[in-house]
Amino acid sequence: MPTYVLRCRSCDERIELTLHLDEYEKKMRGGVECPKCHGRAVTPEIASFEVKTARKTASW
Ligand SMILES: [Zn+2]
């Protein structure tokens, strides 16, 4: 299962989510709450390994 790294823009908290892609997309659609400040200014950080996974899938 991939790990997604999110960042809270309010308090700079780093949030890690280990979810299947469909679960992650569902969660992002509903909005992610920061566990520290309970704000909703949470945005994904670019994970380099995600790109690697996509490339591997594309070659097949
Ligand atoms: Zn926060």
pLDDT digits (tens, 9 = 90+) for 39-56: 999 999 865 555 555 566
- How far, in Å, is the centroid of ligand 1 from the Cα of 25? 20
DSSP for 3-25, written as a single string? EEEEEETTT--EEEEE--HHHHH
Question: Which residues surround the ion ligand 1 when the cut-off is CB under 5 Å?
Answer: 8, 10-11, 13, 34, 36-37, 39
Domain that holds residue 31: 3-58
Percent of the chain with pLDDT over 70: 75
Averaged over 11-39, what is the pLDDT?
94
Please state the domain count of the chain.
1
CB neighbours of 3 closer than 8 A, spacing ≥ 6? 16, 17, 18, 47
Looking at residue 34, which CATH number applies to its domain? 2.20.28
Report which residue type is found at 35: P
β-pair partners for 3 = 18
What does pTM read for this prediction?
0.69
pLDDT of residue 60: 61
- How far, in Å, is the centroid of ligand 1 from the Cα of 14? 8
